[in-house]
């Protein structure tokens, strides 16, 4: 009986030690901005959480900085850029962690259908991990884009050339620890099965000795 308790305690220790992914959604409908607010000026890094930092003006160009607009982007608030070309948003992650860009949403202004080209670039090597050319953004429902890409550096989301009449919202991401000071965490499945096999063998051996 004590052996089984020890097995359970050991497995629980592994579960607690395993890195748990934390999720976040940046919903601009709930943001404390007014129409025309330059997001990075009013609230630098808005939507950042844990090791993940958002930059709403990563290029430093006034025409590409993201601006908040209340309503009318497919019925919702959104962020757009004045030039409408290659509007940019960066998500970067601290060393020893990874970030997964799960999805983002685009809306059309003023509640109108728009064609938007967008891409997601991995900042580690500038590779494009997802993209669409002239994607149709519905004026009624917008367009949700599922990405599901992971990076240990971060991502840049780009949209345009009609990024004035198309805006971004619902940026959903998650993050997890991958390393840093101390030993890197052992993936739970492998560690768990190894422990079960090893302790299971000890239990069987004890039973055989008791029976003898």
CATH number at residue 124: 2.60.120
Instruction: Please give the chain's pLDDT, 212 residues, in tens.
Output: 554 455 444 434 433 444 568 999 999 999 999 999 999 999 999 999 999 999 999 999 999 999 999 999 999 999 999 999 999 999 999 999 999 999 999 999 999 999 999 999 999 999 999 999 999 999 999 999 999 999 999 999 999 999 999 999 999 999 999 986 544 444 545 444 344 444 444 434 344 444 45
Answer yes or no: do 87 and 166 share one domain: yes
The torsion angles phi and psi of 59, rounded to 5 degrees, stand at -90, -15
Answer yes or no: do 52 and 110 share one domain: yes
Answer yes or no: do 134 and 192 share one domain: no
Query: Over the Cα atoms of the chain, what is R_g?
Result: 23
Answer yes or no: do 154 and 135 share one domain: yes
Provide the 10 A C-beta neighbour count for residue 175: 22
Domain count, the chain: 2
Answer yes or no: do 45 and 111 share one domain: yes
pTM beyond cutoff 0.85: no
pLDDT at 94: 98
Answer yes or no: do 178 and 106 share one domain: yes
Answer yes or no: do 76 and 148 share one domain: yes
Answer yes or no: do 179 and 191 share one domain: no
The torsion angles phi and psi of 95, rounded to 5 degrees, stand at -55, 145
Answer yes or no: do 178 and 198 share one domain: no
Q: Length of the chain in residues, anyone?
A: 212
Answer yes or no: do 120 and 166 share one domain: yes
Answer yes or no: do 151 and 209 share one domain: no
Range of the domain at 71: 21-185
Q: Which one, of 171, 161, 174, lies nearest residue 78 by Cα?
A: 171
């Amino acid at each position: 009986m004590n052996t089984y308790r020890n097995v359970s305690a050991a497995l629980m220790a592994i579960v607690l030690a395993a890195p748990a992914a934390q999720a976040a959604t940046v919903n601009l409908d709930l943001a404390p901005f007014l129409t025309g607010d330059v997001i990075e000026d009013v609230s630098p890094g808005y939507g950042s959480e844990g090791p993940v930092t958002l930059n709403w003006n990563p290029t430093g160009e006034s025409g590409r900085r993201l601006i908040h607009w209340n309503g009318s982007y497919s019925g919702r608030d959104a962020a757009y850029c004045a030039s409408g070309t290659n509007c940019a948003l960066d998500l970067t992650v601290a060393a020893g962690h990874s970030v997964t860009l799960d999805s983002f949403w685009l809306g059309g202004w003023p509640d109108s259908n728009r064609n938007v080209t967008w891409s997601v670039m991995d900042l580690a090597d500038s590779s494009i991990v997802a993209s669409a050319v002239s994607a149709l953004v519905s004026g009624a429902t917008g367009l949700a884009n599922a990405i599901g890409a992971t990076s240990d550096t971060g991502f840049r989301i780009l949209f345009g050339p009609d990024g004035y009449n198309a805006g971004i919202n619902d940026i959903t991401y998650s993050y997890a620890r991958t390393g840093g000071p101390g030993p890197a965490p052992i993936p739970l499945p492998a560690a768990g099965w190894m422990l079960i096999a090893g302790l299971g063998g000890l239990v069987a051996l004890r039973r055989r000795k008791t029976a003898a």
